[in-house]
Amino acid sequence: MVGILLLTHAPLGQAFIAAVAHVFRGQTEHFEAIDVTADQDTAQVNELARAAIARVDDGSGVLVITDIKGGTPSNCCNSLAVPGHVEVIAGISLPMLLRAITYRRDTLDVVVEMALAGAQSGAVRVDNRIRLGGE
């Protein structure tokens, strides 16, 4: 099973963990979050991330998801990527995360593609102005 590590600005990671626990009605295995604070040392974040990757990896690989490309958590991810074993994507959303978790028994490449597809299809305009059937 592909492990998932969230590396985000505090308190997003723990909020996503709680949302996933709510949707799936319990804790999800091989799934952790590191919430990075404003004054946290990036070397410490990298050390924490490497340890978390080791914990969530059962040999199937790890997907690291960060919140915003160019932010401190994302910049800490630059040295974590190992193509084919540790993949990193930015721009976390709940649809992205739920899709990744749903497909995580597949290969890492499939999990990455499904997560990205979830993010793209999950961002839609909600428009109440037009009602079907003339309502």
Residue 18 pLDDT > 80: yes
Contacts of 37-41 with C-beta under 8 Å, sequence gap 24+, read 37/10, 40/72
Contact 7, 13 (CB under 8 A): yes
Helix residue ranges, H only, 1-135 = 12-24, 42-56, 72-77, 94-102, 108-122
Residue 135: the pLDDT is 52
CATH number of domain containing 18 = 3.40.50.510
How far is 82 from 62, CA to CA, in rounded Å? 9
Residue 133: the pLDDT is 60
Interval 49-79: pLDDT, tens: 999 999 999 999 999 999 999 999 998 888 9
How far is 38 from 135, CA to CA, in rounded Å? 49
Domain count, the chain: 1
Structure tokens at 76: 């800490």
pTM, two decimal places: 0.91
Domain that holds residue 75: 3-134
> C-alpha angle with apex 114: 58 to 8, nearest 5 degrees?
70
Question: What mean pLDDT is reported for the chain?
Answer: 94
Percent of the chain with pLDDT over 70: 95
